[in-house]
Chain A
Amino acid sequence: MFAARAEIVANVWKIVAREGDQVGVGDVLAVLESMKMEIPVYAEASGFVSKVLVEVGQIVQEGDPLIEIDESHA
């Protein structure tokens, strides 16, 4: 299990990945908004999206898990 995390305190601006999606390394899973910058959240593992842990508009802290990827089904 791999969790994509927030690299900075931010507002969740877009969620690109949906539960069940197949994703590969480097795919954009979500976009955060912080300091007026659009900060993409990339998949660092291949697999399928097992859980989206946040909602659009939610404030997340640095290190918070955002989206879980199950690597066993890669």
Chain B
Amino acid sequence: MTQLDTPSVVSAPDQADHRSTLTQRRQDRFARVEPKGKRVFTARERAEMLVDDGSFVEMTPLRTAGGGAGSGVVAGWGTTDGHAVVVVSHDAAVASGAIGAVMADAIMKAQRFAIDKGYPIVYINDSGGARIHDGIFALHGCGGIFANNIEAQQRIPQISLIIGPCAGAAAYSPALTDWTIMVKEQGQMFLTGPEIVKAATGEDATAEEIGGSALHTKVSGVAHLEVDSEEEAFHATRLLLSFLPTHKGGPQKRHSSVPANPGAAERLPTLVPDKSSVVFDMNALLDGVLDNGARLELMPAHAPSILTLFGRLDGHAVGILANQPNARGGILDAKASVKAARFVEFCGRFDLPVLTFVDVPGFLPGTVEEGRGVITHGAKLLKAYVETKSPKLTVVVRKAYGGAYIAMGSASLGADVNWAWSGSEIAVMGPGGAVALLHRRALKAAEEPAKLRDELAAVYREEVARPYIAAEAGIVDDVILPEETRDRMAAALRMLTHESSL
């Protein structure tokens, strides 16, 4: 039975009227309005598709903003994999989903429910922004939604799906949530669309150019995942929720342990090239350590020199940060710092352990990065690690130099356990740069400076940069072999999550 059906029982004559009135009211409100444009599904169908089959319950289904139409939003709750979730789905069939006073109030009611009861909330956004006819009442309502978004940050996970053109308030609210998923060619986010842009500044640009998924998932970083269809957006949302507790302080979703991919685990000891300048794919390393199961990488196309993903280790849901040598050499820059800091901060807020895999040549210096504010943005990463109180495990798999060594979850920033692989290098700068400074005079006087530099660099690498100085000083807890990484991390997680005392 759905909310549309009224139970058919033989009514007493005096009951017939109010029963048929309710049936009529429900039919009017639940009648399917054929979606416009590229849309395939209605707001209600989207909410139902997101959650477990038959689990969606609409809140205030008879609410109206007048004129016989609905409030402009389908809000309710259901479950994903059996866990409760609150859903807000903009109804583009009512005034193009524009947010009026009543719609805003219905959204705020759902937000209040999620915050107070401690359930994640998913916003399915398809709205042109504030409803102009409602004037100041629309603006006041949109502001109220933002205030709730901000309050919710400290309490529950918030996920935004961008499934239609979202302007103004419908773009700002997602920016106040944790993760934003955009449907390619169907969803856009912008302050305002092409017509008003043209009128305001004269710029001629399409909706895709101003706020398409390519712009926001690659360049701006406003959105975190691009998918091809609404169904994929719902799937990605369910996958994301599978790694998260329902609310801050809530129990973590523990699965049974799955061994790492056997082939990848076998290749792990020889995967990382000895020569620190040669690139490799960090994903192959993660395959050899993490549970061989579902993962979700966020922001894969934005600042790809650092990977941020959710996965599992020994059944624990974990957040993983890893430098990616295969993209821009694995450097940290302004964008990579912001991406990483945001991810660490999120994990900390919801008690997810942070696993950091380090192979970083440094922060990228120079005029372009300084102009982008790399100092301020890099500092955000330091702050995020220090403020995160969830378990933090860090392993240097090849090289960690200078400020980037500190920034990548080092002992000084509060990592609970730090390891370094036996072939790794930890130093203030790479051997080449270090000997150029330390032996400037000798190199200047040398007959073959390049040869001398290589020799000195080799000595520096073995005598200064190898991780034993750090281990002897207790700054690195232990020097380990690649194939020991998974077990060491699993044991540390059992200890840090108090599981070993259960």
Chain B residues closer than 8 Å to A62, beta-carbon distance: 368
Is B364 interfacial (CB 8 A cutoff)? Answer: yes
Q: Which of A34, A36, A40 contacts B276 (CB 8 A)?
A: A36
Decide: B430 and A40 in contact? CB cutoff 8 A: no
Chain A residues closer than 8 Å to B433, beta-carbon distance: 36
Decide: B361 and A35 in contact? CB cutoff 8 A: yes
Is B279 interfacial (CB 8 A cutoff)? Answer: yes
Q: In chain A, residues 5-22, which have Cβ atoms closer than 8 Å to a Cβ of chain B?
A: 7-9
Q: Which of A7, A9, A37, A39 contacts B368 (CB 8 A)?
A: A9
When C-beta atoms are compared, the residue in chain B nearest to A33 turns out to be B277
Chain B residues closer than 8 Å to A34, beta-carbon distance: 328-329, 331, 364
Is B221 interfacial (CB 8 A cutoff)? Answer: no
Decide: B368 and A36 in contact? CB cutoff 8 A: no
Is B353 interfacial (CB 8 A cutoff)? Answer: no
Main secondary structure of the interface of B (DSSP, over half): loop
Shortest beta-carbon distance, A32 to chain B, in Å? 9
Cα–Cα, bound, A16→B279 (Å): 17
Total A-B contacts with CB atoms under 8 angstroms apart: 40
Decide: B361 and A36 in contact? CB cutoff 8 A: yes
Taking each of A37, A61, A62, which has the highest tally of chain B beta carbons within 10 Å of its own beta carbon? A37
Is A71 interfacial (CB 8 A cutoff)? Answer: no
Cα–Cα, bound, A61→B364 (Å): 13
Chain B residues closer than 8 Å to A7, beta-carbon distance: 327-328
Is A38 interfacial (CB 8 A cutoff)? Answer: yes
Is B78 interfacial (CB 8 A cutoff)? Answer: no
Cα–Cα, bound, A9→B331 (Å): 11
Is B66 interfacial (CB 8 A cutoff)? Answer: no
Decide: B328 and A39 in contact? CB cutoff 8 A: yes
Q: Which of A9, A37, A40, A61 contacts B361 (CB 8 A)?
A: A37
Given contacts A35-B362, A35-B364, A61-B368, is CB(A8)–CB(B277) below 8 Å?
no
Decide: A37 and B279 in contact? CB cutoff 8 A: yes
Q: In chain B, residues 356-387, which have Cβ atoms closer than 8 Å to a Cβ of chain A?
A: 361-362, 364, 366, 368
Q: In chain B, residues 277-303, which have Cβ atoms closer than 8 Å to a Cβ of chain A?
A: 277-279
When C-beta atoms are compared, the residue in chain B nearest to A7 turns out to be B328
Decide: B366 and A39 in contact? CB cutoff 8 A: no
Chain A residues closer than 8 Å to B430, beta-carbon distance: 36
Chain B residues closer than 8 Å to A37, beta-carbon distance: 277, 279, 325, 329-331, 361
Is B432 interfacial (CB 8 A cutoff)? Answer: yes
Q: In chain A, residues 36-74, which have Cβ atoms closer than 8 Å to a Cβ of chain B?
A: 36-40, 61-62
Chain A residues closer than 8 Å to B364, beta-carbon distance: 8-9, 34-35
Chain B residues closer than 8 Å to A39, beta-carbon distance: 279, 328-329
Contact mask B317-334 → A, CB, 8 Å, 1/0? 000000001011111000
When C-beta atoms are compared, the residue in chain B nearest to A34 turns out to be B329
Cα–Cα, bound, A37→B433 (Å): 13
Cα–Cα, bound, A7→B430 (Å): 22
Decide: A36 and B325 in contact? CB cutoff 8 A: no
When C-beta atoms are compared, the residue in chain B nearest to A40 turns out to be B279
Shortest beta-carbon distance, B236 to chain A, in Å? 25
16 new A-B contacts at CB < 8 Å, known A34-B331, A37-B277, A37-B279? A9-B364, A9-B366, A9-B368, A34-B328, A34-B329, A35-B361, A36-B276, A36-B361, A36-B430, A36-B432, A37-B329, A37-B331, A38-B278, A38-B279, A39-B279, A62-B368
Chain B residues at the A interface, C-beta cutoff of 8 Å: 276-279, 325, 327-331, 361-362, 364, 366, 368, 430, 432-433
Chain A residues at the B interface, C-beta cutoff of 8 Å: 7-9, 34-40, 61-62
Instruction: Write 18 A-B pairs (CB below 8 A) sorted by A numbering.
Output: A7-B327, A7-B328, A8-B329, A8-B331, A9-B364, A34-B328, A35-B329, A35-B331, A35-B364, A36-B361, A36-B430, A37-B277, A37-B329, A37-B361, A38-B278, A38-B279, A39-B279, A61-B368
